Structure 1
C-alpha cells in the first residue's frame, strides 16, 4: 500500500467522523444514547456489505444493468435499508425527540459512507487521493443527510397513529430517496469539469438542511422545557432558568468552577441536563398515544429524578444555593405588588414638604392671619 493510499484512507475516515462529531455536538441537551449511536454506525456498515453483495449479484446475473443500479436501484435500496434501523430505535426511550433521529440517521449514513470510501479507494489506487477528497465533500454527506431525514420523519411519526404516522414515515423516505437518486444521476450524467463542484454543492446543501432542522428541534425542545419543567419534577425556578440557558453552560458555570472545581461543576452540568431531559419527556407524555411508550417514559422519568436528587445531595447545599443565585427566583406576589405600589407612588407628583413633618413645618412657618381672615376663627 502506497503512502498516498494511506493518506487517502485517513482522509476518508477522519473527515467524515469529524463532520459526525460536529453534528452530534449540536445536540445541546445530550439526549439519546452513545451505545445507540455506535449501533447506528455499525448498522450503516452492515447495510453497505449487504447492498454491495446484492448489487454485484444482480449485475453479474444480468438481471439489472450497471447504470440502472447506480442511478436508481442502489440509492433507493440504500435509503430503505439504512432507515430500517428506526423501526427498532423509534420504539426506544433513548429516542427522545426528532433531533435524536437526525443524529442516529446521520451516524448510520457515515458508517455506510466510510466503508464505501474504502472500497472505492482500494479499487482505484491510482486516483485514491482525488476519490477520497471528492467523496468526503459530496457522497458521504448525501448518505448521512438522507438517513438523517428518515430519522427525523420517524421522530415526528412516533407521536401519531394510522395515516398520519405513515404519512410522516413515507414522506421522509420519499425525500431521502429522491435526494439520493438526484445526486447519483447528477454524478453519472454530467461530464462537465465542474462536476465535483456541483456534487459538493448538493452534499453541503443537504447537510445544511439537516443542521437547520436540528436547530429547529432544539428551539422546540427549549419551548417544551420552559412549558413543562417545574415543581412536578422537583425543579426550582432558578434551576429552570439555568436549563433554558444550557447553551451558555460554560459561561454560566464559570463561577462554580472557580469556587468548587471542575469536577463539581461537571456534576452540576449533568444535573441541569437531566432536568432538560425531564422537561422533554414530560412534553412527550402529553403527545404519546401508545400506552407502552407512556409507561416507559414514566419509568425513565422516575430514574432521572432519582439521579437528579442524588446529584443534588452529592454536590451539597452550598453549591446548589450558589447555582440558584446565578438566576435569583422572581419575587413572590405580595412583595411584587408592594414593590409596584411603592414605585408608582414615587412617580406621582407630591407637594413640597408632604407628610407629617411637612405639615408641622407648614404650621410653624405660616404667617399670622389678619383680624378678619376667614382662615382663622374670630373668637366672638
Structure 2
C-alpha cells in the first residue's frame, strides 16, 4: 500500500462518512438505528458493484464514450439503482418521517460512493490530491444527497397523499436524477460541483430536520393519547361495543367465528407495542435513558403468530379498520432496533 494511497484514501472516503455521522447526531429521536445504517451502506456498496457492470454493458451496447454517457444516461441508471434500496425500505414500512427518509437515503448513497471511490483509489493511484478533494467532498456527498432527495420527495408525497403509489416514487426520482445530471454537466469546472453540493445540501437537511422535528413531536404526542384511549377502551370492553368494534366483530365472523378473539387479542397487543415505542421516542426527545421493555421481543413473536393464524386475506380486509397507519408499522419496526 503506497504512501499516496494512505494520504488520499481519507480525503476520498471520510467526508461523506462524516456528513452521515452529522445527520445521525441531529436525529434527536433516534429514528434510525446502527443496524439500519449498516444495512443501507451494504446495499449501496452492492448497488455500486452492480452499476459498474450495468454501465459497462450500456457503454458497449450503445458504443458511446464515457463523457457522453455521464451527461445523459448515467444519472438515471445510477439513481434508479440506488432508489431500489430506499424503495424496499418504504415498502417494508421502515421509513416513517422526513428525518429517517433523509438519513437512510443518504446512507445508501454513501455506500454507493464508498465503492466508487475505493475503486478509483486503486485504479488511479497517480491522481493528484485535487481529484480526491473533488471526489470526497463533491461526488461522494452528491451521491448521498441525491438518494436522500429521492427519499425526501417520495416521503413528502406519501405524507400529503396517504398510501404510497408508484407515481410518488417516480416523482421523487426526478430531482435526484436532476441533481446528479447537473453535477456531471459542471464537473469540468474546477471545484464548482463540490461548492454546489457543500453549500446546497446542508441548508436543505437543516430545514428538513428543524421543520420535521416539530411534526414528529406533535404526531407522537397526539398518537400516544389516541392509542392510550384505545387501549383503555379495549381493556374495559367498551371498544367491542363501538361502531369500529362491531364492524371488526362482524368482519371477523365472516371469515371464521374462532377468529374473533384472535383479532381482538391482536388489536390489544399491537396497541400496547405501539404505545411502548411512542413512550421510548418521547423519552429520547427528553434525553432520558430508558431501556426498551424486556417483553418486546416475545410480544412481537406472539403478534406475528396471531397474524399467521388470522391469515393474509383476513388481515388485508381487517387492516383498514384497525386504527393503524404506516407510521404505526414503522414504530413497530423501531422496537426491533431499540
TM-score normalised by the chain length of structure 2:
0.66
Shift of the alpha carbon at 1:266?
2.5
Distance 1:71 1:18 in 2: 28
184, 199, 203: which one pairs with 2:197? 203
Distance 1:229 1:60 in 2: 56
Distance 1:169 1:31 in 2: 22
The answer to whether the 8 A contact 1:122-1:128 is kept is no
Q: Which deviates more from structure 2 when the two are superposed, residues 28-37 or residues 70-79?
A: 28-37
Partner of 1:32: 32
The answer to whether the 8 A contact 2:280-2:290 is kept is no
Shift of the alpha carbon at 1:293?
10
The answer to whether the 8 A contact 1:75-1:181 is kept is yes
Distance 2:118 2:35 in 1: 24
Distance 1:302 1:247 in 2: 18
The answer to whether the 8 A contact 2:158-2:168 is kept is no
Cα pair distance change 1:294/1:142, threshold 3 Å: same
Cα pair distance change 1:76/1:296, threshold 3 Å: closer
Shift of the alpha carbon at 1:108?
0.5
Distance 1:140 1:156 in 2: 24
The answer to whether the 8 A contact 1:104-1:148 is kept is yes
Select the structure of larger CA radius of gyration: 1
Find the residue that maps to 2:290 and give its secondary structure.
helix
Partner of 2:324: 294
Partner of 2:125: 125
Work out the number of aligned pairs and report it. Answer: 264
Find the residue that maps to 1:30 and give its secondary structure.
coil
> Are 1:19 and 2:19 counterparts?
yes
Partner of 2:263: none
The answer to whether the 8 A contact 2:14-2:136 is kept is no
Cα pair distance change 1:3/1:139, threshold 3 Å: same
Cα pair distance change 1:2/1:300, threshold 3 Å: closer
Distance 1:55 1:67 in 2: 12
Gapped runs of 5+ residues in structure 2?
232-277, 297-318
Partner of 2:148: 148
**CA offsets per residue over residues 321-377 of structure 1, 9 Å max, x none?**
xxxxxxxxxxxxxxxxxxxxxxxxxxxxxxxxxxxxxxxxxxxxxxxxxxxxxxxxx
Cα pair distance change 1:201/1:38, threshold 3 Å: same
Distance 1:209 1:187 in 2: 22
Cα pair distance change 1:25/1:171, threshold 3 Å: same
Partner of 2:313: none
Shift of the alpha carbon at 1:40?
1.2
208, 214, 219: which one pairs with 1:219? 214
The answer to whether the 8 A contact 2:79-2:173 is kept is yes
Distance 2:139 2:39 in 1: 22
Cα pair distance change 1:301/1:209, threshold 3 Å: closer
Find the residue that maps to 2:289 and give its secondary structure.
helix
Distance 1:228 1:105 in 2: 26
> Are 1:58 and 2:58 counterparts?
yes
The answer to whether the 8 A contact 2:283-2:290 is kept is no
> Are 1:5 and 2:5 counterparts?
yes
Higher RCO structure, 1 or 2 (CA under 8 Å, sep 6+): 2
Cα pair distance change 1:290/1:26, threshold 3 Å: farther
Shift of the alpha carbon at 1:7?
1.9
Distance 1:12 1:293 in 2: 48
Cα pair distance change 1:124/1:142, threshold 3 Å: same
Partner of 2:175: 175
Cα pair distance change 1:299/1:206, threshold 3 Å: closer
Partner of 1:267: 290
Cα pair distance change 1:167/1:44, threshold 3 Å: same
Distance 1:3 1:157 in 2: 48
The answer to whether the 8 A contact 1:120-1:131 is kept is no
The answer to whether the 8 A contact 1:121-1:128 is kept is no
Distance 1:98 1:110 in 2: 18
> Are 1:75 and 2:75 counterparts?
yes
Find the residue that maps to 1:111 and give its secondary structure.
helix
